[in-house]
Amino acid sequence: MGTWFAVVAVILAVVIGFTIMLRRRIDVPKRQHRVEVYVKMPYRVSWPPGYADSRPIRQVKTPNGLYLMEAFGGRAAALEFLRGCEVRDERVYVIAENPESNLGKDLVMIFEEFDGAFVEIAERSVLPTPELSREDCARCGYAVIPAQSPGSSAITYGDGTVRWFASLDQMEMDGYGHQCQACGALACARCYRSVPQHPNAGGKLDLRCWLCDGRVDVFTG
C-alpha cells in the first residue's frame, strides 16, 4: 500500500509541475519585432586620440538608434571623454555611464541620459577644405537634418505670399542647416553660429555658401 501511495504522489507531482510550466509559457508575452531605424553604416564617430585602440566600446541597437556605451568612474571623466568624441551622424548616441549621472552625446549636444536635458553644445572640428555634399555640411562634414518647415515662424501678407523666418539658434539645437541656391552644397547652422556672420544692408545675416559664396535657403530635404 505504501508503494502505491508513493507512485500516486510522484504522478501528481509530475502533472502539477507540467501544468505550472505550461501556464508560465502561456503567460510570458511574445517578443515583439522591433521596427528598425536607418543608421548610416559604418557610423561616423571619432574618439579621443588613442582611446578606441585600448578600450572597446559596447554597442546596442534599439528602435531609436545605435548606442555606443562606455563606463567611467565619475561624471568629470565621462564629460571629458564625450568632449573628445565627435558624432557626425543622426541617431547615433555615445553614452558615458558613471555613478553620478549618465551622460550622452549625439549629432548636436551633450545631454543627460536620464531625461535628455541639455548640458552643452557639441563642438565640431572643421574639414581641411570644404567639400560638396547633399547630406553633410561642406565645412565640418556633419550630417544636416532637413528642417520640418522653411522656418520657425511665418507671416502671410495681403497678396497671399508667405515669408518664413528662421532662428539660427533654434536651428543649431535641432541639427538643421541651409542649402546653397547655386551649387546645392549644405551648411549646418552650427558652423554659421561658430563663425561671425555680418548683416547685409537690410540688417539680416548675410549667410553664404562655404564653396561658391552663393546665397542659401533653409534646407528642407
Tens-place pLDDT, residues 11-27:
544 444 444 333 333 33
* Contact by Cβ (8 Å): 179, 219: yes
92 touches 45 (CB < 8 A) = yes
What is the pLDDT, as a whole number, of residue 37?
41
Q: Enumerate residues 6+ apart whose C-beta is below 8 A from 189.
A: 168, 171, 172, 176, 177, 178
Mean pLDDT score, 18-40: 37
Half-sphere exposure in the Cβ direction for 26 (13 Å, CA): 6
Q: What pLDDT score does 50 carry?
A: 77
Q: 26-35, 40-49, 74-83: lowest mean pLDDT where?
A: 26-35
Residues belonging to the chain: 221
Segment 56-81, tens digit of pLDDT? 788 999 988 999 999 999 999 999 99
Q: How far apart (Å, rounded) are the C-alpha atoms in residues 80 and 4? A: 73
- Write the pLDDT tens digit of every residue in 115-131: 999 999 999 999 999 99
**Predicted local confidence at residue 206, as pLDDT:** 84
The predicted structure's pLDDT at residue 221: 85
Per-residue confidence (pLDDT) for residue 49, from 0 to 100: 81
DSSP states along 107-159: SSEEEETTT--EEEEPP-PPPSS----SSBBTTT--B-PPPSSSSSEEEE-TT
pLDDT for the residue 140: 97
Quick one: the chain helix, strand, coil %, rounded to 5? 25, 25, 50
CB atoms within 10 A of CB 197: 14
Cα of 40 vs its chain's centroid, Å: 12
> Is the model's pLDDT at 191 over the cut of 80?
yes
Q: What is the pLDDT of residues 130-166, one digit of tens each?
A: 999 999 999 999 999 998 765 555 545 556 655 556 7
